[in-house]
Amino acid sequence: MNLKRLLNDRIAAALEASLGEAAPAVVQSAARPEFGDYQANGVMGAAKRLKRNPREVAADVVARADLAGIAARCEIAGPGFLNVTLDDGFLATSLATSAPVEAAPEPETVVVDYSCPNLAKEMHVGHLRSTIIGDAMARVLEALGHTVIRQNHVGDWGTQFGMLLTFLDETGADSELLSDLETFYREAKKRFDADVDFADRSRRAVVGLQRGDPEIRRRWQRFIDISLSHCQEIYDRLGTTLRPEHVMAESAYNDDLDAVIADLDAAGLLEESQGARCVFLDEFKGKDGETLPLIVQKSDGGYLYATTDLAAVRYRARRLEADRVMYFTDARQALHFRQVFAVAGRAGFARDGMSLEHHPFGAMLGTDGKPFKTRAGEVVKLIQLLDEAEERALAEVTRRNPELPEAERREIARVIGIGAVKYADLSKNRTSDYVFDWDQMLSFDGNTAPYLLYAYSRIRSVFRRGEVDEDALTGDVLLAAPEEHTLAVTLLRLQETLESVAADGFPHLLCGYLYELAVQFMRFYEACPILTAEGDVRASRLLLCRRTAETLKTGLNLLGIETVERM
Ligand code: ARG
């Protein structure tokens, strides 16, 4: 049940009938409670365009709109806004007959490209953001009935691997040592810079790797396996849905790269510039007005990040038959993706109508506003970050519930700690930089994971205290108090929220929705006695409680956050 779309369709039809031509109804949820539940803002613009009096058009639209059985009132306000208040009977029936989440009208095959660490180095906070946001998006799209194909485009190829393999040989480093990839990389680089012979062997290793020398390949594979298992550890700790089978690494496209170059050539797109092979498209200009190249092959014959991404578009179009590809990386890659998408379009790598979308996010900053680092200025190890989240949550849980057994406190702390890290990231508009702040994310007040988890557990405790058999609750809700009406409308807004999240790639819309739902629930909870109410009223309020808990749990799970029954 997508309320917004329903109203939009009905009002747009009336608007078209009134004006004699189609015009957008622009329905959105009401800016203020006194405006009702939804408002339609489209009349003014349409009337102005056709030089008609907006209030007259509004009156005509109200008269024509088929809202019987849906809206209790549709009123004209100001210069021609329409304020819609939904009918309580309609809300009650909708709650009884619709599932919290329903399939979207047009299911698609969507590739979600996310996480994608570079295996030569430690996974960093940018990959953490990509993992958290991308995973939430994959879950939401799946819940709406889309076929989601997760692609973890890990960086496992390139010249630095020659150096790392040679160093691995020398040190005989085991997986323990490799658990600190950052140090391993630094040491290898030191050797590379200091020792000509080492550098030479490294270069030969790269050539061997690219030629497919079986021995070098075997050693490389071992390195990759160890790095990937570290990544999987983080995925599991975070509770993301990424599995080894979602890895489609850069190296997997190796055999396609010659064909990519040949196709670009055949399409007349290749040009040589300073020995390198490039694609120049007029729409990409640098500051000095010169056309920017997309470099696809270096003068030594080596391929680049862009070449692999072109191959990936080709694969996702031809083999995966994607309708849509969503990439989640930091904003600094914006130009790269614009160029790759444009070139892929010209070269015929993308399918007709295939949507290629880069969904960028900002940097993760410390509370000092600087890039997120340890106090010593080093890269933060993600596993340690998650340990700290759980420790901090445990301290708070213990302060609040000292009487709970330790094992239960630890389990609650795990859910809160991991949930807090994820929710803090997901709840901000991803396009801006984001400040990682322990105190804010672990606070029990405001738009945070602990607040929502607490709201959920409060509802669960109502059922425990009342010893209510939830499954025995049936029938429609009775919406008498204004708080009940608003809660019912809010409950039904999950669907339209999820569809917006899916369309725009903005999980913070779902967070904002869940927070609003928790706030509306608390208002209802304070205004309307539940367990002390009687008969149908009690049953109705318990039904509202049950649906709220279900909706909170569904929404949090779609964000990749678990819930606890009490805390
Ligand atoms: N490995 C890249 C990085 O860490 C991100 C890859 C994103 N996906 C892609 N298809 N380019 O910056």
Full pLDDT tens readout for the chain, 567 residues: 899 999 999 999 999 999 999 999 999 999 998 999 999 999 999 999 999 999 999 999 999 999 999 999 999 999 999 999 999 999 999 999 999 999 988 999 999 999 999 998 888 898 999 999 999 999 999 999 999 999 999 999 888 899 999 998 888 766 666 777 888 889 999 999 999 999 999 999 988 988 889 999 998 998 899 899 999 999 999 999 999 999 999 999 999 999 999 999 999 999 999 999 999 999 999 999 999 999 999 998 889 999 999 999 999 999 999 999 999 999 999 999 999 999 999 999 999 999 999 999 999 999 999 989 887 888 888 999 999 999 999 999 999 999 999 999 999 999 999 999 999 999 999 999 999 999 999 999 999 999 999 999 999 999 999 999 999 998 899 999 999 999 999 999 999 999 999 999 999 999 999 999 999 999 999 999 999 999 999 999 999 999 999 999 999 999 999 999 998
Residue with tokens 């205290």: 465
Strand arrangement, sheet containing 324-327: 147-151, 109-113, 324-327, 355-358
Q: Is the CB of 151 under 6 A from ligand 1?
A: no
Architecture of domain 3-86: 2-Layer Sandwich (3.30)
Atom 4 of ligand 1, nearest CA residue: 117
Q: Is the CB of 541 under 6 A from ligand 1?
A: no
Locate the ligand 1 atom nearest the alpha carbon of residue 327 and give its number.
8
Q: How far is the CA of 329 from the centre of ligand 1 (A)?
A: 7
| Residue 376: predicted pLDDT | 80
Is 338 exposed, middle or buried, given 0-12, 13-18 or 19+ CB atoms closer than 10 A? middle
| Residue 173: predicted pLDDT | 65
Pairing outcome for strands 109-113 and 81-86: unpaired
User: What are the sequence ranges of the domains in the chain?
Assistant: 3-86, 159-235
| Residue 284: predicted pLDDT | 96
Q: Is the CB of 152 under 6 A from ligand 1?
A: no
| Residue 172: predicted pLDDT | 77
Measured distance CA(313)–CA(316) in Å, rounded: 5
Q: Is the CB of 118 under 6 A from ligand 1?
A: yes
Element (H, E) at 500: helix 494-504
Q: How far is the CA of 358 from the centre of ligand 1 (A)?
A: 11
Strand arrangement, sheet containing 276-285: 270-273, 276-285, 291-297
Mutation test of ligand 1: which of 122, 246, 329, 335 has the most ligand atoms closer than 8 Å to its C-beta? Answer: 329
Atom 6 of ligand 1, nearest CA residue: 116
Atom 7 of ligand 1, nearest CA residue: 116
| Residue 508: predicted pLDDT | 98
Q: Is the CB of 327 under 6 A from ligand 1?
A: yes
Q: How far is the CA of 155 from the centre of ligand 1 (A)?
A: 7
Atom 8 of ligand 1, nearest CA residue: 153
